[in-house]
């Protein structure tokens, strides 16, 4: 493997206080909690971290706080993507200077580039940094899908493009990615409920939301599958499936923040335009959480 970020990467939420300022003490507490409970790495300032409403200065301070908390217990990956190539390049360079172990960079959103445009965009990022680069394909948010051929081209051209987070639930595409890309190029599920199916097709692990709450269980599911105990892995998948789905009953990360607040780990504040769950929604979520 070109660079091993681990099997369970938690896409970490950004804790806020009641004024909706970043609570950096809680950032450190949460990051430490995650790496002590099944996460091999934490991904900060991604969509789950509410990156669209963070300033670049806040993002870099979150990275620094997380690095302090994690130390040598796991890796810290920074979401540096943008729909501006210039900004994505600049943030990749800043992440490298500030000590990130790797970066995640998303398909440009809203401006919907062609496949040729994506290749130019990601090439510029890869050439701007020596950090390992994880590509991120999530058509439901970006409005455009990154083709298998595009991923293949980038993975073969750049040694530091090491992995793909695939949040697109087409299993034929996962098969084609695994057949087309180099063997040492890692594929991660971007959806908790698709982790086990994708593992069966050659994925390496998951960039997870549910691992905020069930990191050890997700880790054991992956380990059991990879060591040949598919039945036990399937049982864990089925046990966790209801919460995998319920954590997306409202826009991410609203439900997982509510669940973390229910467990007494952080508060559930989110930044507008997101809003907290209603009382009824919380009751539905907590009922499923308590049943696992």
- The rounded distance, in Å, linking the Cα atoms of 28 and 159 is 32
Residue 67 has pLDDT above 90, yes or no: yes
Residues 257, 261: Cα–Cα separation, whole Å:
6
pLDDT value, residue 20: 98
C-alpha span between 38 and 150 (Å, rounded): 32
Q: Residue 212: is its pLDDT beyond 90?
A: yes
84 DSSP assignment: S
Which architecture characterizes domain 8-229 according to CATH? Alpha-Beta Barrel (3.20)
Distance separating alpha carbons of residues 81 and 78, to the nearest angstrom: 9
CA atoms of 64 and 110, how far apart (whole Å): 29
Backbone angles phi, psi at 88, to 5 degrees: -60, -40
**Coil, strand, or helix at residue 37?**
coil
For residue 224, give every residue at least 6 positions away whose Cβ sits within 8 Å of its Cβ, in sequence order, or none.
Answer: 230, 232, 233, 236
Contact residues for 172 (Cβ-Cβ < 8 A; gap 6+): none
Reported as a single tens digit per residue, the pLDDT across 159-206 is 999 999 999 999 999 999 999 999 999 999 999 999 999 999 999 999
What pLDDT, on the 0 to 100 scale, is given for residue 53? 98
Active site (catalytic) residues: 136, 165
């Amino acid at each position: 493997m070109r660079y091993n970020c681990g099997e369970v990467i938690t896409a970490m939420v950004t804790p806020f206080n009641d004024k909706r300022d970043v609570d950096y003490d809680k950032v450190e507490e949460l990051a430490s909690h995650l790496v002590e409970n099944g996460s091999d790495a934490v991904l900060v300032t991604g969509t789950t971290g509410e990156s669209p409403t963070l300033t670049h200065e806040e993002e870099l301070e979150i990275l620094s706080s997380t690095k302090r908390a994690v130390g040598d217990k796991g890796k810290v990956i920074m979401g540096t993507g943008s729909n501006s190539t210039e900004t994505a390049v600049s943030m990749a360079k800043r992440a490298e200077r500030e000590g990130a172990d790797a970066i995640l960079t998303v398909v440009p959103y809203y401006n919907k580039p062609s496949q040729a445009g994506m290749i130019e965009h990601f090439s510029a990022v890869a050439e701007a940094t020596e950090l390992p680069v994880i590509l991120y394909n999530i058509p439901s948010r970006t409005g455009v899908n990154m083709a298998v051929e595009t991923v293949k081209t980038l993975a073969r051209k750049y040694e530091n493009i090491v992995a793909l987070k695939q949040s697109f639930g087409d299993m034929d595409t996962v098969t084609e990615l695994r057949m087309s890309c180099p063997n040492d190029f890692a594929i991660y599920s971007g959806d908790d409920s698709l982790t086990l199916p994708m593992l069966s097709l050659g994925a390496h692990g998951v960039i997870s939301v549910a691992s905020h709450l069930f990191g050890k269980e997700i880790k054991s599911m992956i380990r059991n599958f990879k060591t040949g105990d598919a039945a036990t892995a399937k049982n864990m998948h089925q046990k966790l499936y209801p919460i995998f789905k319920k954590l997306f009953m409202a826009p991410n990360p609203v439900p997982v923040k509510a669940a973390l607040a229910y467990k007494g780990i952080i508060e559930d504040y989110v930044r507008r335009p997101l809003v907290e769950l209603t009382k009824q929604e919380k009751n539905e979520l907590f009922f499923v959480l308590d049943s696992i």
